[in-house]
Amino acid sequence: MASNLSRLVRPEDLKSLRAGDTITDSLPGRGKGAILFERKASGVIAASYRYAIQGTRKKVSLGSYKEKPKDAGFTLTEIREKAVEMAMLALEHGDLTKHKNEVENHARLKAIEAERIAAIEAAKGTFEDLLQDYIDDRTGKLDPRTIDEMKRVRGKLILQNTEILCLHAADIKPTHIKELLSPIHKRGSKVMAERMRRQISASFNYGMRAENVVGRTSNKTYAIELNPAAVVTVEHVEKKGTRALSEKELKQFWNTLEKTDRVGPVMTSLFKFVIATAGQRFSSVIEAEWHAYDLVECVAHLHHSKGRSGRSQQKPHPVPLTPRALEIIR
């Protein structure tokens, strides 16, 4: 069949094509291009949209012609509709191959940007994440009992205020902090409300600088600009009482220890030894090995846990042993 036949193609025309034969189906309108059908060696009829740009012929695949109902591909009507779409695109954009590459490149860049935004969104830490990050940062630096209390506070907040804890940390406002603390304060736990506020405030202070810490293990970002807990105050916090006994009270304590129920001789000696050594910490006295007490030089080589790093930073604390202290220890 002639390869340059140019008229409205019918199904029987396509059926009569032999391997290597071509036939064209011109689109309505001058310069709109045509559909080129070609029978391949496999027997499949391939359809292409053929058009010209500045005298140069170009071709874009439209798929394969569906010769039988069960065959893959498109009907003659569907191929013509696709060709019309291609003609409109060529009229608007020119080179269809170049346009296709630009569209695909734009889609690829858009997908990359979407992934980047999704990654940023996924890395945004919630209020709950912030509390946990702060606890993780303090673990090993604070006394284990303090860490346990911080975990307990976090767990209580999550249990009672899930919606607020799920918000991004950067979106937390002072009103949210008040919403967390008010129920605790109203039931009379004013000291607990203040302690909770302090932990929350410390967590936000940590979050404001955490992203700039080299070697930080967490991948969460917070973008916190202000500490919402810092501007919240809790009324009637714990009142500081008198932390020392008066001379009269100390004398009474010393003279009545042996007479107190359920206080044996060992505990009596411990209390008196602590008093005789100017009020040393009970834990330091109890935990010291016997060789730490130099009865010749009259010095007790105790150790104190200093700073916020708890037991990990024990410092020597020599304590002079007075005659009264030596009398008790002997």
Tens-place pLDDT, residues 177-228: 999 999 989 998 888 999 999 999 999 999 988 877 776 767 788 889 899 9
Q: Are 116 and 283 in contact (CB under 8 A)?
A: no
In order of start, what are the domains of the chain with their CATH numbers?
11-102 (3.30.160.390), 127-210 (1.10.150), 247-329 (no CATH)
Q: Are 193 and 181 in contact (CB under 8 A)?
A: yes
Structure-token pair, residue 7: 């008229």
pLDDT of residue 241: 61
Tens-place pLDDT, residues 57-95: 888 889 989 888 888 989 999 999 998 998 888 888 888
Q: Are 270 and 281 in contact (CB under 8 A)?
A: no
pLDDT of residue 173: 96
- Phi–psi pair at 166, nearest 5 degrees: -85, -10
Q: Is the pLDDT of residue 310 over 60?
A: no
Tens-place pLDDT, residues 16-67: 889 999 898 888 877 788 989 999 999 999 999 989 887 788 888 899 898 8
pLDDT of residue 122: 65
Tens-place pLDDT, residues 88-128: 888 888 888 888 888 888 888 888 887 877 766 666 889 99
Tens-place pLDDT, residues 282-298: 888 888 888 888 888 88
pLDDT of residue 238: 55
Whether pTM > 0.75 for this model: the answer is: no
Q: Is the pLDDT of residue 237 over 70?
A: no
The identity of residue 10, as a single letter, is R
> For residues 111 and 101, what is the distance between their CA atoms, to the nearest angstrom?
15
Max Cα separation, the chain? Answer: 127
Q: Is the pLDDT of residue 1 over 70?
A: no
pLDDT of residue 264: 85
